[in-house]
Amino acid sequence: MSEKYCDEHDDDSGSFRKKLCSFLGVLLLLILLTIFLVWAILRPSKPRVVLQDATIYSFSLASSPAGPNYLNATIQVTVACRNSNDRIGILYQRLDVVALYKHQQITLPTALPTGYQSPNDDVVWSPFLFSVNSPMAPYLAAQLRQEQAMQMVMLQINMNGRIKWKVGAWMSGVYHLYVNCPAYIAFGSGRAGAAVGQGMKLELASKCDVDVGLGG
């Protein structure tokens, strides 16, 4: 009698365990599917950045008698940045802009205002970039003088910073944002090796390369 009861009990608990297992299995599958769908729907896309304008207000390359070359320059750039996500906001924690000539940094970093950018929002920054007695390698200075003589200089405008994604109250970890904008700037009146007049403008708006990676 008691044996029968135990057997029945064992059978019952066995099928209960089986049911529990398949229930948990389905639940786990649903949870994984939900996570995958949320990820697929919300997966953040990189901000789109366009260099709209670049103006060189002053540009003076001089060599000292001892040899080294020094650059003084004042450049203003206008950069438009679009958050192309429908549901994800971007929190800019730090964003610095510099100008480079053939991979050599020629201006000091200028910090852009930090803050929150709503989904599908545009923001336009117009920072000034300065170089004061920025030393130039002789071969770079020679190339820069040549480009000045050809009335066209090719600079890179780089932005470097940290962002976080924000969905409602949820905030992601820190991502590293790296932007590279090629900037062909035409000189108004090319006078090689000397300060050149004002209002040298970017020829065309150019699209920038944007990289976003984990880690700040």
Ligand X SMILES: *[C@@H]1O[C@H](CO)[C@@H](O)[C@H](O)[C@H]1NC(C)=O
Interface ranges with ligand X (CB under 6 A) = 60, 62, 70, 72, 132-133
Nearer to ligand X, 70 or 184 (CB): 70
What Å distances lie between residue 203 and 4, 40, 45, 54, 200, CA to CA? Answer: 92, 39, 28, 9, 9
Q: From the CA atom positions of the chain, what is the Rg in Å? A: 29
Nearer to ligand X, 110 or 117 (CB): 110
Q: How far is the CB of 194 from ligand X (least distance, A)?
A: 10
Q: How far is the CB of 64 from ligand X (least distance, A)?
A: 9
Alpha helices in the chain (DSSP H): 2-42, 138-149
Token pair for 128: 């000034």
Q: How far is the CB of 136 from ligand X (least distance, A)?
A: 10
Nearest to 52 by CA among 74, 77, 76, 73: 77
How far apart (Å, rounded) are the C-alpha atoms in residues 161 and 209?
14
Nearer to ligand X, 72 or 206 (CB): 72
Nearer to ligand X, 79 or 136 (CB): 136
Q: How far is the CB of 163 from ligand X (least distance, A)?
A: 35
